[in-house]
Amino acid sequence: MKNKPTSVIRRDLLRASALGAIGAVGLPLVAAAPARAEGTRRKLIWVPQALGDWDTAFQVGAKDFCELAGWDYQRIGNPSYSVENHVEGVNNAIAAKADVVLTELESQGLAPAFQRGIAAGVTMVIVDQGIEAEAAKFGLGIINQDEYNAGTLNGWQAAKFAQKLTKKTSGTIVLGNGNPGSTSIDKRQNGSKAGIEAYNKANGTTYAFEAYPDGSFDELTASIQKWEAKFDKYGDDLVGAIGTGNPTPIYQAMQERGMKPGSIAVGSTDIPPAHQQAILDGWVQWGIDQQFYLMGYYAAASAYATKESSYPYCTVKTGGEVVTADNLKGVQARTEIWLRKAKKYGFV
């Protein structure tokens, strides 16, 4: 499906769901009056591929819309990722009589669960991760960030800060892949490589690129040890260390090795609160915000348009916002808003 401009997508959602000003910045969102007027109470279940605190902003966005629409919101899943565990979570949501299921389609192994849900009359919405070819088979859009684009931004920032901080025009930038084989994470890796190559071409640098599985989405101690091994391997040739969603093991490994903040370029896609603090402390120079709050809100709103008005929902691309110390203050302000709501909703 060809992606529409965000403004068009937001307008489509406005017309479909009659919510009013769904994408307008700074305007109040209007409650979903038809659902309440007709007494239609729906159950929306979010099934992340793995439970954790990574999706808190997403939960707040989805819950905010459900509050407006008069829908019930629930999250279920397993903290340990596997395709089997993810399928089980989706099947449990279907068995729980969900009207709407928000979930990833990160593997072909999820296709039977999607088929089962659709056959049961459940509105299935692909969020966060989605394989385009599989989504097309179901006639579904994907609501997430452009992962490859996020990767290119990540790579460009890595090369830019490597040159700025080390004053070198050559050296190696190492990327840690937190979940090899995942469609979104692999796109981030490939995009990062392309971003470094583009920077080299534009600026006359010759930075080399290496990617390896760093386990940054799993047990932290093991990931730190892997990064320490990379520091030992490359020594002074290392000019950048970048992540695909979690830079914490990188800068903690730097601390273990007695390295100083800013001695090499460090950054990653995503920008949770801990990542923001690391930028303030100088250990990390950038992040890429995929705007999880908007992703959750748009996913729930899209489900509303489909469930209540029979409109097929559109592909929506959030994110792509580079965050550095220069614009961090604004990001922190909106983070505080969704954190307050998360506490109110009992998510944290």
Can you give the residue ranges of every domain in the chain? 6-145+291-345, 147-283
The domains spanning 6-145+291-345 and 147-283 adopt the same CATH topology: yes
Per-residue pLDDT band for 38 (boundaries 50, 70, 90) equals: low
- DSSP of 294-334, one letter per residue? HHHHHHHHHHHHHHHH-PPPPPEEE--EEE-TTTHHHHHHH
Residue-level pLDDT at 182: 87
Distance CA 162, CA 267 (A): 11
Give the confidence band of 161 by pLDDT, cuts at 50, 70, 90. very high
- Contact yes or no for 48/128 (Cβ under 8 A): yes
**Percentage above 70 pLDDT, the chain:** 89
The kind and range of the H/E element at 208 are: strand 206-213
Question: Residue 85 is inside which H or E element, if any?
Answer: helix 83-95
Give the list of residues 6+ apart from residue 89 with CB closer than 8 angstroms, or none. 47, 76, 77, 78, 103
pTM of the full predicted structure?
0.85
Contact between 284 and 266 under an 8 Å Cβ cutoff? The reply is: yes
pLDDT value at residue 92:
98
Cα–Cα distance for residue pair 32/309, rounded to 1 Å: 12
pLDDT at 166: 98
Q: Place 16 in a pLDDT band, splitting at 50, 70 and 90.
A: very low
17-31, 58-72, 128-142, 317-331: least confident range: 17-31
Burial class of residue 202, CB neighbours in 10 A (0-12, 13-18, 19+): exposed
Q: What's the rounded mean pLDDT across residues 268-293?
A: 97
SS3 of residue 335 by DSSP? helix
Any idea which architecture 147-283 has in CATH? 3-Layer(aba) Sandwich (3.40)
Task: Give the whole-angstrom CA distance, residue 142 versus residue 72.
Answer: 23
Element (H, E) at 288: strand 286-289
Helix axis angle, 111-119 to 83-95, nearest 10°? 10
Contacting residues for 122 by C-beta, under 8 A, at least 6 apart: 93, 94, 98, 99, 100, 101
pLDDT of residue 28: 36
DSSP string for 226-247: HHHHHHHHHGGGEEEEEESS--
Which CATH code is given to the segment(s) 6-145+291-345?
Answer: 3.40.50.2300
